[in-house]
Structure 1
């Protein structure tokens, strides 16, 4: 009997008060959980917003710093252009120095060659002067020999000479010696030598004729 009562009591449904208490607790727990979740969500959103704002401020600070450092963004390019220009100017300066050095070397060589040429010209003039002097001396000595020969012997030699060559010797002789040799030449040879002598003296200016006396009144 007792067991049957116990079974009947165990099979009895729970009282409505206990069910209400449990429902109230569950509702309160759900509210707490929802509130916690809402707070966590709000805090996460606030954290994300703060992080985004910090990143934006940091990026903005860097941009402002970059803008202050390089307002137009051309300082680096300008510096590079200046360096390239300086490099080109240095290269041009080196090229100019090399050219100037080459010009100096060429100028020195030209001066040396001009000096050598002037020395050679002076030596040539001296040599020509000596040669002319020697030739003149030889001609004078040979002319004296012909002038001191007997007229007939000298005439025989002059008969075989070229007329221009013979006229040159006769023009150097004293007039008496030349006349004696001319007298010993054949008429044809004497004529040719005379033509040569006259041709040599054709360019000599003739003395002016004396002015005619004025007629008497």
Structure 2
């Protein structure tokens, strides 16, 4: 009968050879990369960068949305704590000026200018400040030059200078004065 070869020592010997071969393969320099491998790595890197950019954009949008929500909450709280219209002195003073501004804006500029010039200067200023710029310009254009200048100076916050007295014309020398 033939003697059998024990398998366990044979298996141990083959395993030892495999360990040595794997160690040699790991320690050996890596094989140069192929064009396809480089291309794949670049595309993966680009995809990762794009994903990071999208994540940053989403984070910024989320921060903006949170900030807008906070502003809205603050605005709502301010509106809830603000005095109701018609209860404060400021709203009583502003109401008539707003109404007058709307009235003068709808009038024809020439007619509005004639009436506007008759108002007190502080009323003119308050009404003009509440009007649209184009309507104010039309009315100022139809007003007399002195009235428009006074109103413009008052709106600019400057005191209007008193109008200069008109220069008196020098009489032409007469024939008798020239003979003397």
Calculate the TM-score normalised by the size of structure 2: 0.37
Larger RCO (CA under 8 A, 6+ residues apart): 2
Calculate the TM-score normalised by the size of structure 1: 0.31
Larger Rg: 1
**Structure (1/2) with the larger helix percentage:** 1
